[in-house]
Amino acid sequence: MGRQQLPHRSPTPSVRIIMDEYALRRPVADSKAWDEQQAHLADMSEAASVALQVLPFAVGAHHLMDGSLTLLWQDDVSAVAYTQGDGCAELIEDAAAVTRYRLSYDRHRNPALPPSESTAFIRGVLGSTGS
């Protein structure tokens, strides 16, 4: 719940997200709750401070499929990377390693759908569930 308040902080943080298409299409037991979550995701993706991009299946396999990558920049322009996977997580503070993760993020961002197409894609997935 605390994360949902982040976009409402002042100053508003800038958030960029690359979401694998699989995360949108994975079936869940509570389809009503899932539909609500996807609708909220689509709504939040239209906020000025949010750039959400969907990485489509057509891109193929990639090395971030088994977890997540979070890049954080501080006011002093220092950066850290946080990776999380199956039962493990790591905070990376080494500048050279963070740069490698940033380049990895950029390689995934380039083939992802642009933000406006990603929002439409999410709404299309939501509309295709029959809800």
Q: Is the pLDDT of residue 114 over 60?
A: yes
Over residues 51-106, the pLDDT tens digits come to: 999 999 998 887 777 788 889 988 888 899 999 888 889 999 999 999 999 998 89
Residue 39 pLDDT > 70: yes
How far is 90 from 70, CA to CA, in rounded Å? 10
CA separation for the pair 45, 51 (Å, rounded): 6
Mean pLDDT of the chain: 87
Rounded-to-integer distance, Cα 123 and Cα 127, Å: 6
CA distance 81 to 98: 6
Q: What is the pTM for the complete model shown?
A: 0.82
Rounded Cα gap, residues 114 and 51, in angstroms: 9
Q: What percent of the chain has pLDDT over 90?
A: 40
> For 29, what's the count of Cα atoms within 13 Å in the CB-facing half-sphere?
0
- Average pLDDT value for residue range 15-41: 88
11 alpha carbon, distance to own chain's centre? 21
